[in-house]
């Protein structure tokens, strides 16, 4: 057999020149023909292992992402202090008061009639509007401070107190706190 040195195309013994580039052909032995016709194939084992490893890593990454996406997101710390029911009297925390800022004052809630016995029954509706804590029957009388009587037998002296559908809110030393309905027995004014 003969081979073109330029294009490496194989020809029979009877040919002299390459049909494509007219280069004179070289005579080659059978071992070279075997190498040219059956080139040694590189093993595909490393390629298959790499593909399998990539597939396994992808499945693990998707599983971790799915697990993280299904976990409940912890609630962020809100500005409202909610006291646990097991504590009869909420812990007192003294924080510096923030500097006042000039904001438009919200409209006051509709006036409510005080209930007999000095218990405030003012209710508000749930809105995104700011809450006004000033108004009749909310501890604004001269020298009158509300006292919240708890079902556990404890008392909380507050600067202001008001009821909402969520429970009883009170302000004490600049801190506003919510007590659930089941924790409050009554609100009296001293």
- What are the structural domain ranges in the chain? 1-74, 80-87+113-125+134-190
Instruction: Kindly provide the b/e burial profile for residues 50-62, where b requires at least 16 CB atoms within 10 angstroms of the residue's own CB.
Output: eeeeeeeeeeeee
By the 10 Å C-beta count (0-12 exposed, 13-18 middle, 19+ buried), 32 is classed as: middle
Strands 146-150 and 184-189: antiparallel
**74: CB partners within 8 A, 6+ apart:** none
**19: CB partners within 8 A, 6+ apart:** 9, 11
168 SS3 class: strand
Distance CA 145, CA 130 (A): 23
- What is the structure's pLDDT at 89? 54
- What is the structure's pLDDT at 108? 57
pLDDT in tens, the chain (190 residues): 888 888 888 888 899 998 888 899 998 887 777 776 676 666 678 888 999 999 999 999 999 998 888 877 665 544 555 555 555 555 555 555 555 555 555 555 555 555 555 555 555 455 444 455 554 444 445 668 899 999 999 999 999 998 998 899 999 998 999 999 899 999 898 7
Residue 177 tokens read as 């706190």
Strand partners, 179: 168
Residue 104 tokens read as 């438009």
CB 112 within 8 A of CB 137: yes
Element (H, E) at 45: helix 45-70
- What is the structure's pLDDT at 54? 95
CB 127 within 8 A of CB 167: no
Residue 51's φ and ψ, nearest 5 degrees, are -65, -40
Fold entry, domain 80-87+113-125+134-190: SH3 type barrels. (2.30.30)
73 SS3 class: coil
Distance CA 124, CA 162 (A): 9
- What is the structure's pLDDT at 169? 92
- What is the structure's pLDDT at 58? 95
């Amino acid at each position: 057999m003969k081979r073109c040195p330029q294009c490496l195309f194989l020809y029979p013994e009877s040919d002299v020149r390459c049909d494509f580039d007219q280069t004179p052909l070289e005579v080659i032995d059978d071992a070279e023909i075997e190498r040219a016709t059956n080139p040694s194939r590189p093993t595909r084992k490393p390629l298959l292992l790499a593909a399998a490893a990539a597939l396994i890593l992808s499945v693990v990454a998707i599983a971790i992402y799915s697990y993280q996406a299904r976990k409940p997101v912890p609630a962020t710390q809100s500005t409202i202090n909610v006291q646990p029911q097991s504590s009869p009297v909420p812990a007192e925390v003294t924080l510096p008061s923030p500097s006042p800022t000039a904001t438009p004052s919200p409209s006051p809630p509709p006036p409510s009639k005080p209930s007999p016995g000095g218990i405030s029954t003012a209710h508000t509706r749930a809105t995104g509007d700011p809450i006004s804590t000033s108004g009749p029957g909310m501890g604004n009388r001269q020298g009158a401070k509300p006292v919240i009587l708890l079902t556990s037998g404890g008392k909380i002296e507050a600067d202001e107190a008001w009821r909402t559908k969520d429970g009883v809110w009170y302000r004490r030393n600049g801190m506003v706190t919510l007590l659930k309905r089941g924790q409050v027995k009554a609100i009296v004014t001293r």
